[in-house]
Amino acid sequence: MNLRIRKARKSDAKEILRLIIELAKFEKLTPPGKAEQRRLISDAFSKNPPFRIILAFDGEVAIGYAFYFFTYSTFLAKPTLYLEDIYISDKCRGYGAGKKLMNELISIAKKKKCGRLEWIVLDWNKNAIDFYDRLGAKEMKEWKFYRLTL
Amino acid sequence: MNLRIRKARKSDAKEILRLIIELAKFEKLTPPGKAEQRRLISDAFSKNPPFRIILAFDGEVAIGYAFYFFTYSTFLAKPTLYLEDIYISDKCRGYGAGKKLMNELISIAKKKKCGRLEWIVLDWNKNAIDFYDRLGAKEMKEWKFYRLTL
């Protein structure tokens, strides 16, 4: 595998959408519809994008991505890199692409003077959880995650 | 109680810091030190603030606050209002100040076309959990919260 990580460009839109639909299926969540797909790409490459994308390539083929943005810890008074989605295509797992994406995120977080990286993971996704544990990340067991849908 | 909600101003800095130190003690977490306090206020009132603050007042006295920022749902392709901290001073609870702050956040989220509000809560904070349940918020039990400290 000829692994390479780089920032996404607008010309990657098709590949990004293909991969996010794969992720939704894998997570058994509703994938973005046509309107959401258009808005996602338009937001991603807008002047003040609300999130950023890095892609993993094997040669010329996009095989994975990470979507992230910066949140903020009021107690540390430092930004946090929040990892919204990370995904490696099924057949391309086990070659270090996920690790390479995480290392790139850690390097971005350090440049931005973040105190932490944070994310959530589905409780049945044992492979992902093992991967995060190997990275030295900690499950914050005492925190419950709440959502109010509008 | 003469309740009023408004955006924080730089002249509220002392009150904000007093309240955030109260919250840290209440949550049994390390409160921000002097350097963090300075950075917090400087970030909050910078040109592109990484978070926003609304305050609850009883007359002229600040009795609570909410810190929030906008994250993003890649599946909805819509921003999310993320509530980083919400706090009402101990003696001022039970008069509806928390509800008023939440209503203001919901109204801000709707204006910004968010699909959701999200936050985390400590599992022993039963009063807060009951309050969130009454609002119609849902605990996302299948998601685990992870952190990597830099």
Helices and strands (H, E) in chain A, number of each type = 4, 7
Cβ contact B80:B73 at 8 Å:
yes
Cβ separation B67–A74 shorter than 8 A? yes
Q: Which chain B residues are within 8 Å of A149, Cβ to Cβ?
A: 115-116, 138
What pLDDT score does A131 carry? Answer: 95
What pLDDT score does A49 carry? Answer: 96
Task: Show which residues of B are catalytic.
Answer: 132
What pLDDT score does B7 carry? Answer: 97
Q: What is the DSSP letter of A20?
A: H
What pLDDT score does B29 carry? Answer: 85
| Cα A113 from Cα A111, distance rounded (Å) | 5
- The active-site residue out of A72, A87, A132, A146 is A132
Q: pLDDT grade, residue B94 (50/70/90)?
A: confident
Cβ separation A74–B32 shorter than 8 A? yes
Size of interface A-B (CB pairs under 8 A): 186
| Cα A111 from Cα A117, distance rounded (Å) | 13
- Residue A107 has which token pair? 């390097």
Q: Which chain A residues are within 8 Å of B144, Cβ to Cβ?
A: 120-123, 129, 139, 141
Q: What is the ipTM of this complex?
A: 0.93
Name the stretches of chain A with pLDDT < 50. Answer: none
CA-nearest residue to B51 within chain A is A72
Cβ separation B122–A106 shorter than 8 A? no
- Residue B85 has which token pair? 């901290």
* Cβ count near B49 (within 10 Å): 13
User: Which among B20, B136, B148 is the nearest to A148, CB-wise?
Assistant: B136
| Cα B79 from Cα B123, distance rounded (Å) | 26
| pLDDT tens per residue across span B110-131 | 999 999 999 999 999 999 999 9
Q: By percentage, how much of chain B surpasses pLDDT 70? A: 100
What pLDDT score does A27 carry? Answer: 85
Q: pLDDT grade, residue B26 (50/70/90)?
A: confident
- Residue B72 has which token pair? 């993003």
B26-44 per-residue burial string, b: 16 or more CB within 10 A, e: under 16: ebeeeebeeebbeebbebb
Q: By percentage, how much of chain B surpasses pLDDT 90? A: 89
Cα-based distances in Å from A108 to A52, A62, A64, A131, B73: 11, 20, 18, 20, 21
- Residue A45 has which token pair? 């490459």
Average pLDDT of chain B?
A: 95
What pLDDT score does A29 carry? Answer: 85
Q: Which chain A residues are within 8 Å of B82, Cβ to Cβ?
A: 71
Ordered by where they begin, the domains of chain B are 3-135 (3.40.630.30)
Cβ contact B53:B104 at 8 Å:
no
| pLDDT tens per residue across span A62-88 | 999 999 999 999 989 999 999 999 999
CA-nearest residue to A50 within chain B is B72
| Cα B81 from Cα B108, distance rounded (Å) | 8
φ/ψ region of B96 (left if φ > 0, alpha if ψ in -120 to 50, else beta) reads: left
Quick check: pTM over 0.90?
yes
Q: pLDDT grade, residue B109 (50/70/90)?
A: very high
| pLDDT tens per residue across span B59-76 | 999 999 999 999 999 989
What pLDDT score does B84 carry? Answer: 96
